[in-house]
Structure 1
């Protein structure tokens, strides 16, 4: 989800609710402690220089149980960050502490913002020797020689 997407969604909501993929909700007294832009410059294992930029939201649970972030307040924080930090319309990454600080992609299911788990991947599989995925075939597609199907050296065992 891009920053422009959340800005279009927020005015249509009564409450801002974040939910993990497993169905667990971020407690409703969360705070958005940061809105910023993060950039990462790196070299992948194939030697290619890469640049990534994302808009970063950090969610935090406090002991402030009466706190409820309303859509208009979050929209104000986003607009202020765009103005003061020159934040671009980039994909949003959310930081949220579960067992440790997790980084999530953000989606919207029509009612709640969903924190989607991110995964790692090799960005240069062709350059670092990672074999391509094996082709999956049905056992019925295997060639069999019915006259020597289980003789020694036939390769069936």
Structure 2
């Protein structure tokens, strides 16, 4: 296929072009990015020996990043977050909201450690209340599969195979 896979010998674009020209890759099997790269190539070729631009990087920290980091440092086992469902908030997002509301209430006495402990306590109380009110078990993957299967068509249509090919 390719003579060398080193980034020092050509770019990924030139190597892919060479493979297409030599017939190692069919034109129909080219990567998705290939047409985009040809339509709008970068201003400077992305080579390994090109010096990095001398730019000053901007700090993009938000106000809540400091206590979010503290929360994650002290609470390693938070469980999983469903990134596909925008309805439910993650545990860290709930913590941030509680912390910010406590910070607004206690603006004059804003000791970070005390606010952190209060926010953790409120979060635990909310979690305990939710457990008490929640009577059902959380939906597991197997129970979700069974439920989805039961919601499908109950009976499959009956097909007589012997009559399919008759005129």
- Under a length normalisation based on structure 1, what TM-score does the superposition of the two structures give? 0.20
- Under a length normalisation based on structure 2, what TM-score does the superposition of the two structures give? 0.19
Choose between structure 1 and 2 for higher RCO, CA contacts under 8 A separated by at least 6 residues: 1
More strand, by proportion: 1
Structure of greater Rg = 2
